[in-house]
Structures are given as C-alpha cells and as structure tokens.
Amino acid sequence: MSGHGTPIPMQAGHANPLTGEAHVPGDKSISHRSLMFGAMAVGKTEIFGLLEGEDVLDTAKAMRAFGAEVTQ
C-alpha cells in the first residue's frame, strides 16, 4: 500500500434503509452482485439487463438455495 498514507480508522453506525434506483451498465460481475444484494435486501428488487450466462444463473440458483425468491 505504498503511496496511500496511513490508514484512518472509521466506524459505521445505524442508518436508515437505502431506497431508490441505480442505473449501471450491465456486465457479468454486476449481474452476480445484483442477485446477491437483491437476495439480502428487504422487499422486492427488480434487476433489468441481467446477463444470463450459466454462471450468473448458478448464482441465482444459489440465492434460491439460501431462501431467496428469484423469478424471471
């Protein structure tokens, strides 16, 4: 970590729930993350532009195995 200086300790506390929309360019990495964050979220998550490659569909299957409801 040369050139980054000394790390500064930080703390995070309770915050209000996040709400809103995010528009990001679709790619495989974001598709995986969208499924995982959606599975952890309270309420309904809609994902548009999901890349439906075999590995992304496997991530959806894993989220179902953890108890998330994932539909197309």
Contacts of residue 52, Cβ cutoff 8 Å, sequence gap at least 6: 31
- 40/15 Cα distance (integer angstroms): 16
Give 17: exposed, middle or buried? Use CB within 10 Å, 0-12, 13-18, 19+: exposed
Total residues belonging to the chain: 72
pLDDT tens track for 32-44 = 999 999 999 989 9
Model-level pTM? Answer: 0.73
pLDDT at 4: 78
| 10 compared with 4, residue with greater pLDDT | 10
> Which whole number is the average pLDDT over 45-56?
94
pLDDT tens track for 56-71 = 999 999 999 999 999 9
pLDDT at 5: 87
First-to-last alpha carbon distance for the chain, in angstroms, is 43
